[in-house]
Amino acid sequence: MADATEADIRGRVLDWFHETWDPDVSLIEWRTRLLDSGWAVPSWSTDWFGQDLPAWADGVAHSTIRQAGGVALPLGAASSLAAPTLHEHASDELKGRVLRPALTGEQTWCQLFSEPGAGSDLAGLKSTAVRDGDTWIVNGQKVWNTSADHADMAILVARHDWDAVKHAGLTYFVLDMHQEGVEVRPIEQMNYHHSFMEVFMTDARVPHANMVGGIGDGWRVARATLAHERRYAGERRLSFAPGAKGRVVEEARAEAAIYNETYKWYPQRMGRPDLVTDRARVAGRDDDPVLRDDMMKLHSLEKASQWTAERAKASRALGRPPGSEGSIGKLATSEVARRANALHTRIAGAEGMLRSTTDPVHETVAEVLVSTPAQSIAGGTDEIQHNILGESFLGLPKEPGADRGIPYRDVGRS
């Protein structure tokens, strides 16, 4: 099947869909049928909800089902980060327990990676896992954990060995968020949203069977998750075909509404360049030559950035290894957000600081001004993208590191 064409796949998915679609069953029942058909993740093996097809077949199957009026997989950390990582690295026993509910949407997930002193330097994390027979006892603090307040499960990286060198002392686990010893506290963001949390773990117990990969494989498995994170970064909205209806669709809409609540400020974080020209027109500034010049520069950069993202998507769909376009695209979206923010500020003036007005577009612009900093931080900061480009693609020497080759216990930390 490796030589199947897109048209073949669309045809086969449609045949299956028309035979199977029942709009009046529950969402979970529908997704159970989807999983059992092999069209949930066709690039996975036949043992695990797939058909051994190439990577691009996943997107083709999902869009075909949606366009036909059906529902595919849920969005979120469960299907985009946890499931693909666990599919590649977890034991069959663990996969058997967690993959199905992650893909049907019965369980939602979050990512417990970043810590107060370990974001860009993720491998410098300090949360500690100590083995106690068949369980691990985890202590530490995570931060910026999106949707941790309503997650059932988490992917977690913790340090099991302080005497190993930095990257070798890490192990990757699946954590039950509802257990004793896990406390989630919301963070008040400067744009008034609460999409990410702090998570405190105090003697939280993780069964040994929930370890992903081997002891000390944490960095290798975490890198797989980060690669999936880059791959799914743009997919933050679930769409439904016009006229799609029935119980499955209604339950999926309700699920999407909860999901979208978390991400509703994400368009503003990208600077809303689409609003700039209209705002200039409404403010009577569209004949200002300096503003016009900058609006055209913004438009050109935005288009170039979209094309880079399309190129990266096409390359991934062909199963090619990630190239420099991932980092270049990420840097371009940060720059578009910054420039759009600056233009909105110049057009709105001091009024841009007013959050409550009778004009909803103005409110959106006010949110843009305090949301765009997140764009150049989430998913790897601009500086880290520069480092990746320099070291991995231009062949420049690696950054000097005082923590190389010595036990992590002996590394100076702030």
Distance (Å, whole) CA 43 – CA 51 = 6
User: Which own/partner contact pairs does 392-400 have at CB distance under 8 Å and 24+ positions apart?
Assistant: 392/324, 393/323, 393/324, 393/327
Size of the site for ligand FAD (CB under 6 A): 19
377 makes contact with ligand FAD (CB under 6 A): yes
Smallest separation (angstroms) from ligand FAD to the CB of 312? 20
Based on CB atoms, which residue is closest to ligand FAD, 110 or 328?
Answer: 110
The region of 25-33, 275-283, 349-357, 380-388 touching ligand FAD under the rule CB under 6 A is: 380-388
Distance (Å, whole) CA 398 – CA 209 = 37
146 makes contact with ligand FAD (CB under 6 A): yes
20 makes contact with ligand FAD (CB under 6 A): no
With CA atoms as reference, report the closest residue to 271 among 373, 363, 190.
373
- Positive/negative CA dihedral, 394, 397, 400, 404: positive
Based on CB atoms, which residue is closest to ligand FAD, 324 or 387?
Answer: 387
Among 127, 145, 210, 268, binds ligand FAD (CB under 6 A): 145
DSSP 37-58: HT-SSTTS-TTTT--S--THHH
404 makes contact with ligand FAD (CB under 6 A): no
Angle in degrees, CA 234, 116, 175, rounded to 5: 70
Based on CB atoms, which residue is closest to ligand FAD, 240 or 266?
Answer: 266
The bridge status of strand 109-112 relative to strand 170-176 is unpaired
**How many angstroms separate the Cα of 55 from the Cα of each of 59, 73, 308, 317?**
8, 16, 20, 6
Based on CB atoms, which residue is closest to ligand FAD, 306 or 387?
Answer: 387
Smallest separation (angstroms) from ligand FAD to the CB of 331? 12
Smallest separation (angstroms) from ligand FAD to the CB of 121? 6
388 makes contact with ligand FAD (CB under 6 A): no
Three-state secondary-structure class, residue 390 = helix
Based on CB atoms, which residue is closest to ligand FAD, 64 or 145?
Answer: 145
Among 184, 381, 389, 411, binds ligand FAD (CB under 6 A): 381
Smallest separation (angstroms) from ligand FAD to the CB of 144? 4
Among 108, 111, 141, 333, binds ligand FAD (CB under 6 A): 111
Beta strands in 148-283 (DSSP E): 153-159, 170-176, 182-186, 196-207, 211-212
Based on CB atoms, which residue is closest to ligand FAD, 64 or 268?
Answer: 268
> Contact letters (x/-) for ligand FAD, 173-212, by CB under 6 A?
-----------------------x----------------
38 makes contact with ligand FAD (CB under 6 A): no
Contacting residues for 333 by C-beta, under 8 A, at least 6 apart: 270, 305, 309, 375
168 makes contact with ligand FAD (CB under 6 A): no
**How many angstroms separate the Cα of 2 from the Cα of each of 53, 63, 318?**
6, 20, 11
With CA atoms as reference, report the closest residue to 371 among 196, 192, 198.
192
Based on CB atoms, which residue is closest to ligand FAD, 319 or 401?
Answer: 401
Among 32, 63, 67, 114, binds ligand FAD (CB under 6 A): 114
Among 113, 136, 172, 408, binds ligand FAD (CB under 6 A): 113
In 3-state terms, the chain is what percent helix, strand and coil (to 5)?
50, 15, 35
Question: Would you tell me which residues interact with ligand FAD (CB under 6 A)?
Answer: 110-111, 113-114, 119-121, 144-146, 196, 374, 377-378, 381, 383-384, 387, 399
